[in-house]
């Protein structure tokens, strides 16, 4: 192999790596979006099921009421925390 041939092969390999890097970035972004959608769907189902199965009444213990209250307001990744000073 002469130096021109080696330089051509190096250029080809670099081009292939650039294409692979671009493809990897694209797939990573798609994966991140899908995971976000999956997480959002799970949170909607989880909060809906809390309301469907929650039967709070005057006979419910304080511990159960507090647990339900906390579960409704727990921090989740999609919610922004607002702090008051």
pLDDT digits (tens, 9 = 90+) for 11-62: 999 999 999 999 999 999 999 998 888 877 666 666 655 565 567 788 888 8
Report d(CA 14, CA 57) in Å as an integer. 68
pTM of the model: 0.45
Confirm if 50 and 67 have CB atoms less than 8 A apart: no
Contacts of 76 by beta carbon, 8 Å cutoff, 6+ apart:
43
């Amino acid at each position: 192999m002469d130096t021109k041939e080696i330089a051509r092969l190096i250029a080809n390999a670099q081009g292939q790596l650039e294409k692979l890097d671009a493809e990897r970035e694209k797939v990573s972004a798609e994966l991140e979006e899908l995971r976000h959608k999956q997480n959002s769907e799970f949170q909607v189902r989880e909060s809906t099921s809390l309301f469907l199965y929650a039967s709070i009444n005057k006979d419910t213990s304080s511990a159960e009421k507090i647990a339900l209250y906390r579960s409704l307001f727990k921090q989740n990744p999609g919610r922004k925390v607002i702090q008051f000073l």
